[in-house]
Amino acid sequence: MTRLGPEQPVGPPRLGPVASALLVVLSVVPFLNGLGGEFTYDDHPIVRDNTRIESPSRVGEIFTTHYFGGSMAMGTNYRPGVLLSFAIQRWIHGNRPFWFHAVNVALHAGVTILLAAWLLRLRFPRGAVLAAASLFAVVPIHVEAVTSIVGRGESLAALLALLSAVLWLRATEGEGLEKGAYAGCLVSFLLAVFVKESAVVLPGMVLLGELFRDGRGDGLAGKLGRAVRTRSLALAGLLVPVILLFVARRAVLGGYLISAQASISDLENPLAPLKSPARMANSLLLLARYAAKTFWPQRLSADYSAHALPLVPGFVDRSAAAVLAGAAALFCAALAVLRSRPLFGFGLLLFLGTALPGSNFFFPIGTIFAERLAYLPSAGLLAAAAALFVPTAYAVPRRGPLRWREALLVAAIAAGSAATIARNRVWRNDSALFADTVRKSPGSAKARYNWAYQLSREKRAGEARGELLEAVRIFPRHYEAWGFLGKLAWDAGSLDESIGYYRKAKEVFPAFEYGRWGLAKTLQAARRLGEAEAEFLAAVRLLPESYPLAFHRALLFEEEGHLERAEREWRRALVLGSGSHEARLARAKVLARLGRKDDAAQEAHRILAERPSNAPAREFLSKLCSSGDATGS
């Protein structure tokens, strides 16, 4: 490598075209074999099957509904920014997963470039910065955030947050505030928090940058004091996007964190019901796990829900005590090398500052542990590692044999790239992914449930039933598994067994709409129509905004011959389903049976106006018009 000597840049250090191209290559190449992957896991409800993003005419729903849509009982997140990004792509190229994957990889490359640009503007040594960014580009713990399409929430939020951090430095380089760059900083931050709420860490990143702004680790208290005194108004402005986010969440969800009707399931997050000391102790263990999997990515999994991870009773546990001791040792090490290796202390603080909000330390979140949550925090860990092991005086490869630190860096990049390429294959489709989660997390009830779902799709109902029974054995309150057992029993014609499973799902979680209408539908099929109608009525009272309940209740009224009641219920289903074509066609057929054929034709025309290729509506209209009783207009 070429020795450059101490760096004393006159202006803001720049990445340069050669280094930028190298980082882009490192960011893209390990993920190329993931471009051919299918939609997997949450890609289905969020992207592929999400009717809210299929047409520009429905864009308003993106901003007025929660992340997953549907009942507010599931309203734990509000992320219109990432939904809008998916919507724009669907409007352009339809449901073609290749292009969604391609944009994710491009975003990852952008995050890598901005990470390096931010660290360089903070005047950290160029060699260490390039090493940290290179490692960030290839580590396999990022596969879930990049190769999984819905992982875009992490990469897009990180990109916008880092862009804000870079623009902040540009805006505050001189004596005054450069208004254009500061406005860009605020806009980027505002977009970031509406992509994913984890971006609220940006003010902390900005303050951390102020502490190490000259790439040095001395006089930290004085630097912070000067920043607060001279830039207090600009710093206060960073709180505006955070306030707007919580105002919007309150308006849409009915709560600042989650919907007033929702709760965090201990299936998804077994830390949620724990008392604060026990939850905090386990969250610190999870931070250690994130660090371990960043550097040693063994047994990476898409699922770490209930019973997949060991929990401790509190800080008195030996594991928790060991983590606390390790954290204290790292803190002391950071202080010891603060002058000689300031990037080490900066990296540790960046990791803690960006990881703690999503670690369950301060409050429980929707998941106990997920590799995608390590996306931005891992940058801090990798920066700290680079500060210790990279010869920071070097910037570009030199001729001659590599020294051991340089060889170690090259080997780490190569190993990370190979592991990422291998990990991408797991995410190629649901079958590979869910089979892998069961292998990696056999004690996870959720992993068993997901694998059962895939087995059912592959017409392996017997195996699916076995996995579901194992899921409810592991976690008896897994109401979705009980409901799925009810469906499998329905498919097998065992209606009494199906009713029993659905009743169990209802008992565990009364607001489970799939279980409620599944039970009512099964009672209807068993010709227990009085019980079916009573179940529907009780469910509608509990979940008045449920489209599936309105849909299946309308079908029940039709079957009983109550056409007027069916027509009214189809009308209600249309409202709840935001103009669902299926509900509109069903209402049209009931209107035709009631003799209101002009009204029926009008409903069919509405469907065709929105989707001319709708064959069932066209066929219905053709038959209706051929009878001569309805207008063809």
SS in 3 state form for 180-223?
Answer: HHHHHHHHHHHHHHHHCHHHHHHHHHHHHHHHCCCCCCCCHHHH
Q: Is the pLDDT of residue 219 over 90?
A: no
Q: Is residue 239 part of a domain?
A: yes
Q: Is residue 493 part of a domain?
A: no
Distances (CA, A) of 602 to 57, 612, 617, 626: 20, 14, 11, 15
* N-terminal to C-terminal alpha carbon distance within the chain: 77
Q: Output the pLDDT for position 324.
A: 83
Per the CB < 8 A criterion, the answer to whether 188 and 163 are in contact is yes
Q: Output the pLDDT for position 393.
A: 42
pTM greater than 0.95: no
Q: Output the pLDDT for position 401.
A: 55
Q: Quick one: DSSP state of residue 317?
A: S
Q: Output the pLDDT for position 7.
A: 46
Report the amino acid identity of residue 240: V
Q: Output the pLDDT for position 451.
A: 97
Over residues 363-419, the pLDDT tens digits come to 898 899 999 999 999 999 999 999 988 754 434 444 555 577 788 889 999 999 999
Cβ-proximal residues to 208 (8 Å cutoff; 6+ apart), any chain? 346, 349, 350, 353
Q: Is residue 435 part of a domain?
A: no
Q: Is residue 584 part of a domain?
A: yes
- Nearest partner of 493 among 469, 526, 531, judged by Cα: 526
Q: Output the pLDDT for position 193.
A: 97
Over residues 335-356, the pLDDT tens digits come to 888 888 899 999 999 999 999 9
| Measured distance CA(482)–CA(267) in Å, rounded | 14
Report the range of poorest mean pLDDT among 137-146, 320-329, 412-421, 587-596: 320-329
Q: How many helices (H) and strands (E) does the chain have?
A: 30, 2
Tokens of 78: 């509000």
Distances (CA, A) of 250 to 44, 63, 135, 260, 262: 27, 13, 39, 9, 13
Q: Is residue 460 part of a domain?
A: no
Please tell me whether residues 200 and 337 are part of one structural domain. Answer: yes
Distances (CA, A) of 546 to 408, 495, 543: 57, 24, 6
- Nearest partner of 396 among 131, 38, 119, judged by Cα: 131
Task: Please report, for the domain that includes residue 584, its CATH number.
Answer: 1.25.40.10
Q: Is residue 64 part of a domain?
A: yes
Over residues 23-78, the pLDDT tens digits come to 999 999 999 999 999 999 999 999 999 989 998 988 999 999 988 887 776 778 89
Q: Output the pLDDT for position 394.
A: 39
366, 384, 415 — which closes off a domain? 415
3-state secondary structure of 88: helix
Report the range of poorest mean pLDDT among 20-24, 75-79, 178-182: 75-79
Phi, psi for residue 67 in degrees, rounded to 5 = -55, -50
Q: Output the pLDDT for position 413.
A: 95
Provide the pLDDT confidence category of residue 532 given band limits of 50, 70 and 90.
Answer: confident
Q: To the nearest whole number, what is the mean pLDDT of the chain?
A: 89
Distances (CA, A) of 459 to 92, 107, 491: 34, 37, 11
415, 443, 477 — which closes off a domain? 415
Q: Domain containing 579: what range?
A: 544-633
Cβ-proximal residues to 345 (8 Å cutoff; 6+ apart), any chain? 212, 217, 334, 335, 337, 338, 384
Report the amino acid identity of residue 333: A
388, 415, 442 — which closes off a domain? 415
Q: Is residue 501 part of a domain?
A: no
Provide the pLDDT confidence category of residue 555 given band limits of 50, 70 and 90.
Answer: confident
Over residues 274-319, the pLDDT tens digits come to 999 999 999 999 999 999 999 999 899 999 887 888 888 888 888 8
Q: Is residue 598 part of a domain?
A: yes
Q: Output the pLDDT for position 632.
A: 44
Per the CB < 8 A criterion, the answer to whether 566 and 558 are in contact is yes
Please tell me whether residues 236 and 383 are part of one structural domain. Answer: yes
Number of domains, the chain:
2
